[in-house]
Structure formats: structure tokens, C-alpha cells
Structure 1
Amino acid sequence: MKNFFLLVSILLFLSCGEKENEKSITEYRQWHMVTLSFEGPETSEEAGENPFLNYRLWVTFKNGENEYIIPGFYAADGDAAETGADSGNIWQVRFTPDQQGKWSYAATMHKGENIALSEDPDDGTPVEITNASGDFKVIPSDKQGDDFRGHGRLIASNGYFQFKDSGKYWIKGGADSPENLLAYEGFDGTYRMQTSNDDGEAKTNDTLHNYGPHLRDWKEGDPTWQDGKGKGLIGALNYLSSKGMNVVYFLTNNIKGDGKDVWPYVSPDDFTRFDVSKLEQWEIVFQHMQSKGILLHMVLQETENETMLDGGDTGPLRQLYLRELLARFGHHLGMNFNLGEENGPADFTPIAQNDEQRKEMTRFITKIDPYNHPILLHTHSHEPARTNVLDSIVGFTDLDGLSLQVDKREGASGVVETWKSKSREAGHEWMITMDEIGMWHTGARSDSLDGNHDTLRRYVLWGTLLSGAAGVEWYFGANNRYHDLNTEDWRTRDRLWEITDYALNFFRAHLPYWEMSPEHGLINSKEAYCFRKTGEIYVVYLPDSKQYTIDLTEAGGDYSLHWYDPLKGGELQQGSIKTVQGGSVQELGFPPEADKQDWVALLQIVK
């Protein structure tokens, strides 16, 4: 009997021990950032033994059959955003787990000449670090709404953005300007190298962004650093999110380019040393953007500096640059890489990357990115400069699509259709986002000068979305008072954000847009746009309230007909005709209000 009670006691002890172990394991949430810190070599940004080149930290994360090898980075004292530290012995890795359950990790550090560029796991001398292995548990996310942590990672799929795990599609709208968003006075080591008064680019003085008009948009509980820095920029992002916008375009390196005020380095003339505290402050802003559901449109270079690193090749300097950005920011769920603004040669920028160099850069990003972020190429604005670059890369499978620039807005939809068609015929359909509308000197003017943005709304917003574009961003031009480099207040385009939000809401609520294609010829006007899934749903943008017809010869059945107001948004409305029949050309009747404004007609099969 004593042996029986002894056995029961042992089993109870072991059971309690297992439960205690289960309780003590660290928990993280699915799609939330995991940051692990390791104590390693004491060093600094300017150390003779370059910590960015001559040390390599890799961390392997495993969950069942899932395995990710994630690069780590030098983190100075581990709190550099607050302290401004440029030295210390802390090294870190960031990771966003995509599966629930138990995860393990194992970290290795090696030292050697330029080892950060080596793919050979056996290269270099092993370096001892603390916390080199462990386990953690991933539980469900607690985020909802726009926060990417409630949805997972965005990838490119079927010509659109899509959440990898849920399969839900996502469409973007937001700000292309100011492109030097990160030229912010609250970031360490940030200044403008020289002002600009050159023809063909926006004029600047020696003042960095402070986003003072958006201080009122910062909310209690929002992030700051160093005793309150960051409120203007964080407030600006809050405002943009409040208007329904979900993407911001920004450069990470404009040395030699417009602005000359953004770079990740300690110094703009040494491309092997990175400013840890500045990059940690960028990360605070990026995390806030993700919590607001704002896509990080990360533009890696400008046309003026695309040959600055390695003469345009993906040599050691470009590799190091890309590796650092990926290690520090690649964990973000809503992010795409852009190979560079106006990439490739043109009359005004003849010294540029060539076809093989941009392909090599794309291949390298694809190879080192464990998360499969979309990779886009920003184009020139007109022919033949645009086609000279794109004809040589269309069909290249590592490139996910185009960040499109178009000078003449009336032709924007046709350019989208052209490259969607060419890429499809080449066997790899591109995602095309309409990111910079011209002319270069004007772009999107302030509301005070263009109240309802009639031509932008018609030709660019609805015209390109109904031609297969995966989203729209608004560029503020070079010659406006509030332009592409000096804009401090996004409220100058408040109305533009509103009408963009109306369009995005319509697409989300009513369209399987990823299954649709343009067929503008179905309408009896060259001024109209038509987007359809044959026999199921048709969307028609009409520039005014005149009488129009749609050719439904290809489709049978009856279709309900409702109207949407692109100036006011809201619910679908009833016009003069409630239903139309397939199999012939049909009149669309009149919208609810017979005025001169534009309207959107929605035809849906009656089942």
C-alpha cells in the first residue's frame, strides 16, 4: 500500500511539474512581433571590427515542419531609440510567427571578414552569445479591425494584394507624398545635405519635416521616444488612417536624389555603418503604421542614386544595405519593396541600372526574404522611357508588379490595361498599382485649388481601379505650394482622401475584383469604364448622367441595377430602371439624381 501511495505522489508531482513548465513558457500572439535579445560582443557603430559586416547572427525558428531562418542585427544597448546609444553588447532578432502552437528557436553568431554577406553557415568563427536557444508558445491574435496583426501577412496573388493565411484580398489607397517622409526632425542623425532649387524637382530649404499641424492628431497612449519626440509624425499617420487610407510611400535612401535627407547610415558617405538609434526610431513609426493597417511602401532608392552602390550591381554594399533593411524591418506584415523610383535610364537620368542589374537586385531580395514580400518596380512616366525598361523585364517571375507612374492622367487606365495584358501574355501577370500621377509639376493639387479633384477622380481613381489596378497613391507634384518634399499637413488633400475612401469602400463591399477584368467597349461611350465578371457582375463608371447603354449580349439572365455616388459614397441607390435583361444591348436609365456629376452603376445577376 505504501508503494501505491508513493507511486501516486510521484505521478502527481510530475503532472504538476509539467503544468508548471507549460505555464512558465513565454507566450506570444500569432502575427505579433517577437523580439529576442542576445548578449554578445561589446562593440559600436564605428568599431574597427565592423559589427555590420564582420558579425553574422542567424536565428532558426521551428514549428512542426515550418522553419524560418531569420537574420539578426546589431542593437547597441538594446534601447537605442530612447538612449541614442551607438555602442553596447546587445544583438536582436525580430520575427512574426504565422502559426499557433509551440515554437523553438536556435541562434548562432559567427565572426569573420565580411561574413554578413556569406550564405555558408560554416563560414567564420563561432561567437558565444546568451539566450542562444529556447521555446515559446504562440496563441491567437487579439487584434481586430485594420490592424495587420489581426489578419496576417500580405503577399502578391492574382494581380492583387492578398492575406496569405485567410486568402482575403486587400486593395490600397493613400499617400505617395511626401516621398521623404522619414526626413523628420525627431529622428537621430537626420539632416538635409543641401537645399534644392534645380529645375525638374521640388524646391527645398534647410528645414526638415516636423508635421506640426498633426500634433493635434496624436493620442494619449500613442508611441513617442526621447521625452515626447515623434508626436507630429505619429499624429499625421493617425489622421491618414482616420480618412480610411491604408498605404504610405517613403524612401529609405535619397542620397544624391531629391531632398537629400534620408539614409539609414551613420554618415551619407560611408555605406557600411548603420545608425542604430535612427533605425530603431523608424521601427517605432513602422510598428504604429502596422497597427493602423497602413502598408509600408518601402522605396529602396531614387533614379539619381541607383548606381551609387556597387555601380548598380548587387555587390557587397547593396547586399549589406538590403540585408540590414530586411533584418530590421522584414518582420512587418503589410510591406512591399520597391526597387527604386523611376528605375532605369531616361533622358533626364541617363546613368542608371540596366536590365540585368535590376533583375539581379530582384533575385537577391527574393533569395534573402523569408516572408515573400511583394516586389514592385517604379516606372518612368511616359514612352519610350517606360517601355524601354519594361519590355526587357516583363515576364520575369521574381518581380511581382509595377508601381506605375503616368504623366497624362487621361491615359492612365490604358497604361494599366497595356501592362496587365503584356504581363499576362508573358506568363506572369503583374500586380499594377497606380502610384504617381502627373504631370510631374502638378500631380494632386490641394483641395483649395481642386475641390473635388474631378480629373483625378475620373481618369485615375475610378479609371485605373476599373482597369485592374491594385490600388492608388497620390503624388503632390513638384511646383505646388505643398509639394512632394515639403508637405507637413495631409489635410491639404482632405477631400481627396474622402473620395478615395468612397471608391475603396465600394470595391470592398460589392466586388470580387480579383476575379474581374476590364471591358470598356461594352458601354456606348469612350468616356466610360466597365469592369466585369462575365454573366455575374458589371460595374460601369459614367462621367455624367446622360443616357448610356451596356452590351449584355454575352450574358443571359436578369440583372439588378443600382447606383453609387462617387462624390458622397454611402449606400447603393435606386435609379430609373431596377432591372435589365441579358442577351442584348440594354439601356441603363438615369441615376437617382439627374445632374451633371459622374455616377457608378452596379449590375448583379439575379439568382
Structure 2
Amino acid sequence: MIRSKIIITVLLFLSYFFANQLYAQESPKNMDYQLQGELKKWHKVTIIFDGPQSSEDADFNPFTNYRLNVLFTHNTTNKTYLVPGYFAADGNAGETSATAGNKWKVHFAPDEIGEWNYKVDFRKGNWSAVSDKIDTGVSAEFMDGHEGSFTISPTDKEGKDFRAKGRLQYVGERYLKFAETNEYFLKQGTDAPENFLAYADFDGNFHNDGYGDNFIKTWSPHIQDWKTNDPVWKDDKGKGIIGALNYLSSKGLNAFSFITNNIKGDDKNVFPYVDYNTWDRMDVSKLDQWEIVFSHAQKMGLFLHFKTLEVENQGLLDNGGVGANSKLYYRELIARFGHHLALNWNLCEENGEWVKNPTTPPQDTMQRLAMAHYFKNHDPYNHHLVIHNGIKFDDLLGLDSGITGPSVQTHRADFASIHKEVLHWLSASKNAGKQWAVAVDEPGDAQHALLPDTENPNHDLARRNGLWGTLMAGGWGNEWYFGYKHEHSDLTCEDYRSRDLFWDQAHNALQFFANNNIEYWNMTNHNELVGNKDNDNTIYCLAKQNQTYVVYLNNVTTANLDLSESNYHYKVMWYNPKIGGKLISSKIKKVHGGQKVDLGNAPKKSQGDWVILLTRTKN
């Protein structure tokens, strides 16, 4: 009898085993799936699978209990990308507001032309989504094991569209670089409002859930900037927020930032979840609508600065650690938005500061490093990874941290600490063995910072100490904060025209470097050449010695430049950073190396700051 039971058990096991093997081998061949998007280099390619029927409120949680990964391999170069996928309801939830369905998506941004092969790994089990075990849980069947291929042709995009430039990458230098064109990137954009995504046209119950409902935005002042053929959803929703992006791009700006989780923060309206108190189920339609906005931004040449947490949330999901809820949150961000070409992940705003709420202690060094390592190990595209300073960044320096740059916040209304701050972190990171790319993403102070044009139309201190203080130190750019004591603040702004006059000045700085073919990425700060040994805010110098010198005069009208080590001749031209335009000449049009030289007087004394460009000539 015992022998019979053993034989029966073995036979049952073998029949189960071979049945599963047969399913694994044959079922994927008949998989129902769709390939969407333009099959071109750097474009978003989406594969939509027919998988298990589920819903946002299903007992078997589709966000935590299924793990969809797709391995993409290039046929010639053997490059591989392991890309996470996600539950997509009916596959069109941004339009339908569906909460249920059997569609599962993965987005991929190929970086090579030619044939790409892919293979699907689809697992299920309690919290399988955040497991790094290859064989976590059991096969989820359906598309598990499915293989396919597609062929990618060159992009046809041009101009501002990032698909013409390729992925923006940290390359171990002070500036990020586009993979397709090998261009380096200087940014100027908006750091405010932090609740950019607290938008009335997005799905979700955050509009009237009793948490910060007074901060909901319509972006109505920018409906006028929406254009025919721009994206909308549900016939006419989204015009205000899409118009806001159009306006920023039209002003020559190329970056904006937004918080994606501020549940316990100042605004309390922005989160990826179905509601304020549920942190393991995503609002699929709302996130689809976010994706419409982000995709348009990239087409308009706007860098995406994801602030993944507000300071009050640093202990929200896993008491500051990287546990199951944090991993799920990060995974969903990467799966849904990581394909975008120009972005950085900011681990936390004002990270490490002690929040008054005693239930939210500051994160310690190990917790800060754990956040960085999650993205370093799971983002298939290795996007630039930053953190905002509540406490200083010293514990995050070096080769092992995963951080590739700081998102610097300063605290002076006159922006006067910025230049020294950038110089410090550039030097400290280099000395620690890993050169950071340093940006100042919250210049000024919390109360005032960048004032509205109605209060400060000239923006002299912001331009001199903040904007040019950053660029002349070797920083890769700025995003501008709006102080909370003024109209159109960091929480209330819905009209970017409130700082229209300053956006012109920010654009002037970008145009100076671009139009004059200045290789800023090969230049370093040399304030000592203009007698500025203390790195004060009077005169700055950025130079590729023996080739190009940029001298910035901050509220002075003349400067001397030490060219003792140079044997060349230099043409001298001047640039007005406030009004922009073409280079102009002054009385001294050429200087000779081998000595300290007088650069002459500013063309107009009434203008308080000037940029002097010296370029080497043949004689």
C-alpha cells in the first residue's frame, strides 16, 4: 500500500511537472500582446501583454504580488536591459479611468538601431514585486517565458525634442552628457511649485479628501499656451498643465521639478496611490495621466526632476529604511517613467532634517545610502541620482554611495553663498574619488528666494549671485524656488509668467555659452587669475587656460586677468547678462599673454554686471 501511494505521488508530480513544462513552452507562443510606439532609437517602445485579470482593489494585490520583468538584448552589441513592467488595468486608463483589466505594460527606450530580442519573466507570490530573487514565488503563467523581437530604426526627431539627443547621462564629470549627440547640458528651470502635480484634471480623490484641498491647481493662466494637436485626456482635460510646459519651453527654459509623494508634507495632494492612506496600491489612471504630461515635457526639451519624497515623508513608508513599501514605490516610478531620456531621481527634499512631527525622525547615513543603492541597482538606465540637502552631503561622498551629484539648497535671501557652495562640493567630491555634477536647485531662502516680477523686476541679486554664481563655479545649472511669503509661491503658483522677466535672464545665460561655442565642460573655475583668492562674489573666472577665459564682473566695472602663463593673443568681447543679445566690444579689443592684463572698462556703467569673453586668436 505504501509503495502504491509513492508510485501514485510520483506519477502525479511528473504529470504536473510536464504539464507545466508544456505550458511554459507552448503558451507564450500564442501570447496576445501589442507592440506600441514608433520603433525608433530613443523613442518609447511599449509592449502590452494580456495577463491575469485584476483590479486596483483586488484581494490578490496586482502591485505587490506580481512581478513583471522583461530582459531586452540587442542582437549585435549584446547590450542588455532588465526593465520592470506594471499592471495597467484596461491598458488605456488615462482615458477611461479604468481600475480593472488584464493589461500589463513595459516601456523601453532602445539606445541602438537594429534588432532587439526580449524575454518575459512573470512571477507571482506575496510581495514578489519587490523581491530580487530570480525564482521568487511561482510562475504567473500567461506571458511568462514569452520571447519576441523587433527592429529599431534611427530617430527622425530634431530640435528641442530629447529623442534627437539621446539619453542624458552622468559620465563621471561635472556636466551631464547626451548619448546620441555627445552634447553637454546646462539647465535653467523651475523648482516651484513643488506641488506641480496637484492638478484638478488628474484622476483621484485627492481633490476632496480633506487633506490640503485648498492647494489644488487648475493651471488656468496657461490654458492660453495650449496649442492645437497638443495632448489632452478625456477630450479636453490637461490643457492648463500642458500649456504651462509650453510656456516654460517658449521662454528657453529646459527643466522643471515636482514632488511625487508629499502625503505628510506641505501640500498633501501628490502621491501615486489610490488614496492618501493606502501605500501599496497605485492609481493607474492618474499615473497614466502623469505620463502624458512627462512625455510632452520631454518633447518640449524639459528635463524632469523627480523629487521622490518631501522631507516630512522621509520616514513615512518604512520608518526611513528601504523596506517593502519603499521598494514598491521606487519600482513603480522606474517602471512607469524611467524610460524618459532626461531626468534625475532626487531621493528626498531637505533630507536628514529633523521634522517637528516626532513620528518622522531624520534618516541616518545608512538609510540615505540604502535609497541610493536601490536606484543604482534597479534603474536599468542609470539616471543621474541626487539628494537635496537638509544636512550636508559629506556622508554620501565617494565611489560607493551611488549618488552622482547634490541638489543644493541655500538659505540666504541675497543668494550670496551659492558660488562658494558649488565650488566646495565640486572639490569635495573630486577629492573623495567621484566627481559630482553639482546643481543649485533651491537658490536663495525659503521666505523670499526668486521674487515675482511685480516686486522685483530686475532680479539683480538672483542673476548675479545665484545664476552666474552657479555657472561660473562650474555647476551645471539651477532650478528656481518661489518664496512662501509672496504671491505665486512654492505652493500657490499657477502662473509661471509671474517671473517672466527673470526667465529671459536665465535664457540669456544659456545662450551666452551656446551661441559663442564655449566649451564650458572643458573649463574650470580659476578665480585666482582675477585676484579673487577667497571666492567672494565680486569677480569670477571660468577658464580653459591658454584657450578661453570667461570673466564675470559682479557690481564692478573692470578687472585684471593674469595671463602670465600664456604666450597667446586674445580677442576681448563683452556680454550683457541682463538683456542678452550679441557680444559687444569695448576700448580694449585685444590683449597679449605673458603678463597681467587690464581688460578695460564696462561698455555701460549703468549696467551693474558684465561678462567678458576672451578667445585665443592666431596673432
Using the size of structure 1 for normalisation, the TM-score is: 0.91
Provide the residue aligned with 2:577 in structure 1: 566
Match of 2:548 among 525, 537, 546: 537
Q: Which amino acid aligns with 2:383?
A: H
CA distance in structure 2 between the partners assigned to 1:229 and 1:178 by the alignment: 20
Identity %: 43
- CA RMSD between the two structures: 1.9
User: Is it true that 1:368 corresponds to 2:378 in the alignment?
Assistant: yes
Q: How far apart in 2 are the matches of 1:235 and 1:96? A: 26
Equivalent of residue 171 in structure 1, options 182, 186, 197: 186
Instruction: Describe the superposition over 1:168-193 as per-residue Cα deviations: whole angstroms up to 9, x where unpaired.
Output: 21111000000110000011115267
Match of 1:402 among 402, 406, 418: 406
Q: Give the aligned partner of residue 159 of structure 2.
A: 145
Instruction: Name the stretch that deviates more: 90-99 or 394-403.
Output: 394-403
Cα distance, 1:556 vs. partner?
2.2
Q: Is the 8 A contact 2:558 2:602 kept in 1?
A: no
Shift in Å, 1:88:
0.4
TM-aligned CA distance change 1:550 to 1:263, over 3 Å: same
One-letter code aligned to 2:160 = D
| Counterpart residue number, 2:586 | 575
Q: Which moved more, 1:364-373 or 1:64-73?
A: 64-73
Contact 2:160/2:300 (8 A) holds in 1: yes
Q: How much does 1:321 deviate?
A: 0.5
Change (3 A) 1:118 1:529: same
State the one-letter code of the partner of 1:432.
V
Kept in 1: contact 2:72–2:116 (CA 8 A) = yes
Letter aligned with residue 71 of structure 1 = P
1:492 aligns with 2:495: no
TM-score (norm 2): 0.89
C-alpha change, 1:518 and 1:27, in structure 2 (3 Å) is: closer
Alignment of 1:32-51 (within 5 A): 32-51=43-62
- What does 1:190-589 align with in structure 2 at a 5 Å threshold? 190-191=205-206, 206-346=214-354, 351-380=361-390, 386-387=391-392, 390-397=393-400, 398-408=402-412, 409-510=415-516, 511-524=518-531, 526=536, 527-544=538-555, 546-589=557-600
Please report how far the alpha carbon of residue 74 of structure 1 lies from its aligned counterpart in structure 2 after TM superposition: 0.1
Q: Is the Cα contact below 8 Å between 1:436 and 1:474 reproduced in 2?
A: yes
Q: Does the Cα contact within 8 Å between 2:572 and 2:589 map onto a contact in 1? A: yes
* Code of the aligned partner of 1:512: E
The separation in 2 between residues aligned to 1:507 and 1:358, in whole angstroms, is 35
Write the distance in 2 (CA, Å) between the matches of 1:25 and 1:323.
22
In structure 2, do the counterparts of structure 1 residues 311 and 35 end up closer, same or farther at CA, with 3 Å as the change threshold? same
CA distance in 2, matches of 1:238, 1:595: 34
CA distance 1:433–1:190, shift in 2 (3 Å): farther
Question: How many Å apart are 1:167 and its aligned residue?
Answer: 2.2
User: 2: CA distance between counterparts of 1:36 and 1:346?
Assistant: 43
Shift of 1:166: 3.1
The answer (yes or no) to whether the contact 1:25–1:135 under 8 Å persists in 2 is: no
Residue equivalent to 2:21: none
- For residues 53 and 221 of structure 1, the distance between their equivalents in structure 2, rounded to whole angstroms, comes to 37
CA contact (8 A) 1:184 1:190 kept: no
- Contact kept, 8 Å, 2:311 with 2:355, in 1: the verdict is no
Task: Determine if the alignment matches structure 1 residue 95 to structure 2 residue 108.
Answer: yes
Contact 2:116 2:149 (8 Å CA) reproduced: yes
Residues 347 and 83 (structure 1 numbering): CA distance in 2 closer, same or farther, change over 3 Å?
A: closer
Return the offset for 1:586.
Answer: 0.7
Change (3 A) 1:449 1:26: closer
Contact 1:79 1:85 in 2 (8 A): yes
Q: Which amino acid aligns with 1:484?
A: D
Give CA-to-partner distance per residue, 1:193-238, whole Å, 9 cap, x none.
7889xxxxxxx76141111010010000000001210000000000
Read off the aligned partner of 2:293 and give its amino acid letter: V
Query: How far, CA to CA, are the matches of 1:439 and 1:549 in structure 2?
Result: 33
1:76 deviates by 0.1
Distance 1:190 1:211, change over 3 A: farther
- Letter in structure 2 aligned against 1:600: V
- Distance between the aligned counterparts of 2:476 and 2:134, measured in 1? 39
Q: Kindly indicate whether the alpha-carbon contact (under 8 Å) linking 1:194 and 1:206 is maintained by their aligned counterparts in 2.
A: no
The 2-side partners of 1:113 and 1:524 are apart by 64
Gaps spanning 5+ residues in structure 1: where? 1-23, 197-203, 381-385
Quote the offset at 1:42 in angstroms: 0.5
Tell me how far 1:27 sits from its aligned partner.
6.4
CA distance in structure 1 between the aligned counterparts of 2:37 and 2:215, rounded to whole angstroms: 45
**CA–CA separation in structure 1 for the residues paired with 2:333 and 2:593:** 53
| Alignment deviations for residues 296-330 of structure 1 (CA, whole Å, 9 cap, x no partner) | 10001011110111111111110010001101111
AA partner of residue 463 (structure 2): R
Q: Kindly state the Cα deviation for residue 588 of structure 1 after the two structures are TM-superposed.
A: 0.6
Change over 3 Å in CA distance of 1:89–1:481 after alignment to 2: same
- The Cα of 1:69 is off from its aligned counterpart by 1.4
- Residue matched to 1:6: none
List alignment gaps of at least 5 residues for structure 2: 1-34
1:187 matched to 2:215? The reply is: no
Structure-1 separation of matches of 2:445 and 2:154: 47
Q: Is the 8 A contact 1:247 1:295 kept in 2?
A: yes
Q: Which residue of 2 aligns with 1:56?
A: 67
3-state SS in 2 of match to 1:571: coil
Specify the code of the residue in structure 2 equivalent to 1:86: T
One-letter code of the match for 1:523? V
Would the aligned equivalents of 2:311 and 2:348 in 1 still touch at CA under 8 Å? yes
> Aligned partners of 2:209 and 2:411: how far apart in 1?
28
- Deviation of the 1:492 alpha carbon: 0.5
Matched residues in 2 for 1:547 and 1:172: separation?
Answer: 28
Shift in CA distance, 406/396, structure 1 to aligned 2, threshold 3 Å:
farther
> What is aligned with 1:9?
none
Q: Which letter does structure 1 place at the counterpart of 2:158?
A: Q
